Amino acid sequence: MNFQLNLFQAAFGIYSRILPSRAAVKAVEWMTSPRIKAERRRLPKDLFSERIALPSGGLLATFGTGPKKMLLLHGWSGWVGQFQALISEIDPTEYTVYAVQPLGHGESNAPQSHPGRFIEAALETLDFVDAPFDVAVGHSLGAAALIYAQALRGDIKHLVLVSSPATIEGVLRRFARFLNLGDRSTSHFISAMEETVGLGVDRLDLVALAHAVSTPVLVIHDESDAEVPAAESMALQRAFSQSRSFRTNGLGHSRLLQHADVTREIMQFLDRDLP
């Protein structure tokens, strides 16, 4: 597998240097195509009973009937089931949980999506509920979208950010390096993604946006995360006015969501800060 990957990266790197614009178009196509197994697109039927269509094409599912409101937003190519461990600890008489499935994810089975769809889905959920959320939990791109939404609207009282990047430009540049894009092709790729999303990467600098967030924030990251370096969440934590961090080791980018220590830390954050 490594040999095949190395061969692909070498070949695509050459292609990107000969035809940088065409290689960038292909990179955008890959970047905006969620890769999710069919069985992971289905919601846990025993938890989520109601499904609401969002204007951007995403879906919203609800669990519980409690007075406190919780928003869950998974990451790129993620799924609601990644929050199963956390959901199993939530008292449905205390919380109403709103699980967001952006366009192209979950039962919103569109072939293409992009980071802007995550932001749209988060904002549309805030509009639908039309009341402040007690807490929002986001993973990876979902965490990034929640930072943007909170900086814009301020409708979330507490934030839990798991494996969050510090900038969307950093996410794009890491993908470009994975594909071995040349410099010119990388520039074309970032510009094309900005056009696709409808926002410049400067407006998606999450560290800059964090300065506008005054609510308590719990930042969770694994030291061995190979997709988003742990240093990025450290930069985020320093930018928030009220924050603390929780670190794991050896769980990577996504597996930490299912780990008992992470679930326990989130529940302690809720118990401590949400009377």
pLDDT reported for residue 38: 86
The DSSP line for the chain is -HHHHHHHHHHHHHHHHHSHHHHHHHHHHHHTS----GGGSS--TTT--EEEE-TTS-EEEEE---SEEEEEE--TT--GGGGHHHHTTS-TTTEEEEEEE-TTSTT---S---HHHHHHHHHHHHHHH-S-BSEEEEETHHHHHHHHHHHHH--BS-EEEES--SBHHHHHHHHHHHHT--HHHHHHHHHHHHHHHTS-GGGGBHHHHHTT--S-EEEEEETT-SSS-HHHHHHHHHHSSSEEEEEESS-TTTGGGG-HHHHHHHHHHHHHH--
Domain ranges of the chain: 45-167+205-273
Q: Nearest Cα to 136, choosing from 108, 165, 96, 168?
A: 96
Give one word for 108, left, alpha or beta, with left for phi > 0 and alpha for psi -120 to 50.
beta
**Cβ neighbours of residue 80 closer than 8 Å, sequence gap 6 or more:** 43, 44, 48, 61, 72, 74, 99, 101, 106
pLDDT reported for residue 274: 64
Q: Nearest Cα to 237, choosing from 211, 203, 205?
A: 211
**Cβ neighbours of residue 42 closer than 8 Å, sequence gap 6 or more:** 107
pLDDT reported for residue 33: 96
**What mean pLDDT is predicted for residues 233-248?**
94
* pLDDT tens by residue, 121-147: 999 999 999 999 999 999 999 999 999
The yes/no answer on whether domain 45-167+205-273 falls in CATH 3.40.1360.10 is no
The number of angstroms, rounded, from the C-alpha of 15 to the middle of its chain's C-alpha atoms is 31
pLDDT reported for residue 24: 96
Percent of the chain with pLDDT over 70: 98
* pLDDT tens by residue, 36-64: 988 888 777 677 878 899 999 999 999 99
Do 177 and 136 contact (CB within 8 A), yes or no?
no
- Higher pLDDT: 51 or 202? It is 202
Q: Token pair of 258, please?
A: 């299912």
* pLDDT tens by residue, 61-115: 999 999 999 999 999 999 999 999 999 999 999 999 999 999 999 888 789 999 9
**Per-residue confidence band for 260, with pLDDT thresholds at 50, 70 and 90:** very high
Do 82 and 254 contact (CB within 8 A), yes or no?
yes
AA letter at 224: S
pLDDT reported for residue 273: 67
**Cβ neighbours of residue 149 closer than 8 Å, sequence gap 6 or more:** 119, 122, 123, 126, 155, 156
Burial group, residue 159, by CB count within 10 angstroms (0-12, 13-18, 19+): buried
